[in-house]
Amino acid sequence: MSELSAASGPPRRRQFHLLFICLLVIGAGNSMLLAVAPPLVRQLGLSDSSVGWIFSLSALLWVFASPIWGRASDRRGRKPIAALGLAAYAVSMASFGLVVMLGLNGLVTGLWLFTWLMLARAIFGAFGSASSPAAQAYIADRTTRMERTEQLAGLTAAFAMGQAFGPAICAALAAKLGLVFPIWLIALLAAAASFAIWRFLPENTPPQSERPRGDWRESLALLTDKRISAFLLYGFGLSVVAGVTVQVFGLFTMDRLGASGEQGAELTAAGFMVSALALLATQMAILPRIKLGPRGLMAWGAGLLAFGVLIQILAPSLGALLVSQAVQGLGAGLARPGFTGGASVAVRPDEQGSAAGLVVAINGAGFIFSPLVGGVVYETVGMNAPLIIAVALLLVMFVFALVSRRLRAVRMLDAPPSEPTTPG
């Protein structure tokens, strides 16, 4: 019996729900960290641009490690790789919280503080990057091509749900227990999620391939493969935009509204929560009904994101900033499933781990450049400059999604195959 047949129905839903919960934890942790980072770096006496640089090494490691972990999940199975990634995420968050505590108490300062914060986050990039490609490939193994975009969007929705509720929880906890407590809480939840994956996710044997697998270098060869290269190029642009807008939103909000400290964290958290709720609503309510293909989702997503960033540039108040985040969440809710699902349906079943690894790597690649395009430009040119760059890039992506011949070719794969695609 194929894994697709064996995993259909209620058992498959339970498996997917477990993965969704674990991605929810990662989403909540990342949004909490992004909400507290801007006020924290100012309290620690670090520059505004250090917010981006702290995440840059992690992003660089993420780019190179994700394809390796994706290929490893092909060989070792999805479950152990996903569990390893969550365990590493727990270690990374706990280490980050410890370094912040040392910094707030004056035990580590200046360059050493900055370096240790960067290294603590780098654990997530090097090893925490294992979870997402393994989870994506696990779902790809157990869905047909017709189901895949919607089911992979469910993973993004789970991540978005964590992003939505994470900031709200963060704001409440930070107000009562300080900015560091949410970081410790996520470390604990990530450790619990890792145990849950290891203990309860069913996978007795590694997925079988219809042809012998090579080493991890084969996954890198997909970078220039005509089937998915256009999706990866679009995804890279989307990642740069996400890195810039996420990095500068907290600083932008505090400077535009004159906030700082816990109040700055609360306002930033409110914006991230609205964006994530809009993304979640898009993927849970709108995406299943509009029935757009990958190219259509990518074009609409880039256009709406550009409009949302433009609203942010002009926003005079918190209400307008929240509207901008809602529109950006709507755009991201269309764009990300478009390129993720398109890349998945464009490759063979035995290439799913490699493709998922590349997609996850591309999702993090933009954060390597966001300190320059975001933080440095923010400090040296002005608070609107990074957002103007983001709007220009999104307009280029919008046109690219409309005219790219390689993206148009994916329509051949959107049609139902003569027989259900059965991952080996």
pLDDT tens digits for range 65-88: 877 887 788 778 888 898 999 999
Task: Choose between 34 and 335: higher pLDDT.
Answer: 335
Highest-pLDDT range among 142-146, 270-274, 408-412, 420-424: 270-274
pLDDT tens-place string over residues 94-108: 999 999 999 988 898
Does the pLDDT value for residue 208 go beyond 60? no
pLDDT at 219: 56
Q: State how far the Cα of 308 lies from the Cα of 66, in Å rounded to an integer.
A: 30
> For the residues 283-287, what does the mean pLDDT come to?
78
**Among 3.50.50.60, 1.10.150.130, 1.20.1250.20, 1.20.120.550, what is the CATH number of 12-202+220-413?**
1.20.1250.20
Say if CB 339 and CB 294 are below 8 A apart: yes
421 or 241, which is more confident? 241
Mean pLDDT across the chain? 79
User: To which H or E segment does residue 166 belong?
Assistant: helix 145-177
Residues 6+ apart with CB under 8 A from 344: 136, 140, 148, 149, 152, 352, 355, 356, 359
Nearest to 295 by CA among 328, 339, 260, 259: 339
Q: How far is CA 236 from CA 152, 227, 304, 362, in A?
A: 18, 16, 17, 5
Give the list of residues 6+ apart from residue 280 with CB closer than 8 angstroms, or none.
Answer: 157, 160, 161, 164, 329, 333
Please indicate whether residue 45 or residue 206 has the higher confidence score (pLDDT): 45
Q: How would residue 424 be classed by pLDDT, with cut points 50, 70 and 90?
A: very low
pLDDT over 90 (residue 247): no
pLDDT recorded at residue 12? 64
Radius of gyration of the chain (CA): 20
CA distance linking residue 383 with residue 253, whole number of Å: 10
Q: Is the pLDDT of residue 204 over 60?
A: no
Of residues 363 and 333, the one with the higher pLDDT is 333
User: pLDDT band at 127, cuts 50/70/90?
Assistant: very high
Phi, psi of 196 (to 5 degrees): -65, -40
pLDDT of residue 159: 73
Residue type, position 330, single letter = L
Q: Which of 125-139, 201-215, 218-232, 309-323 has the lowest mean pLDDT?
A: 201-215
- In the chain, the percentage of residues whose pLDDT exceeds 90 is 21
Structure tokens at 274: 């609205």
pLDDT digits (tens, 9 = 90+) for 403-421: 887 776 655 444 333 333 3
As given in the structure block, the two tokens for residue 85 are: 């990634």
Question: What is the reported pLDDT for 164?
Answer: 67
Average pLDDT over residues 242-266: 82
- Which of the 8 DSSP states describes residue 202? -
Measure the CA–CA gap between 268 and 321, rounded to whole angstroms: 10
Q: Which residue has the tokens 């100012």?
A: 42
Once rounded to an integer, what is the mean pLDDT over residues 370-388? 84
Q: Model-level pTM?
A: 0.69
Q: What is the pLDDT of residue 4?
A: 45
Q: Which residue has the higher pLDDT, 213 or 77?
A: 77
Does residue 211 surpass a pLDDT of 70? no
Predicted confidence band of residue 400 (pLDDT cuts 50, 70, 90): very high
| pLDDT classification of 122: cutoffs 50, 70, 90 | very high
Position 16 scores a pLDDT of 78
Distances (CA, A) of 100 to 40, 109, 121, 266: 8, 10, 12, 19
What does the alpha-carbon distance between residue 356 and residue 78 come to, in Å, rounded to a whole number? 12
pLDDT digit string, tens, across residues 10-21? 556 677 778 888
Residues 6+ apart with CB under 8 A from 307: 327, 331
Tell me which DSSP letter residue 372 carries: I
Question: What is residue 331's predicted lDDT score, i.e. its pLDDT?
Answer: 93
DSSP 8-state assignment for residue 106: T
CA separation for the pair 126, 180 (Å, rounded) = 23
Alpha-carbon distance 86 to 125, whole Å?
12
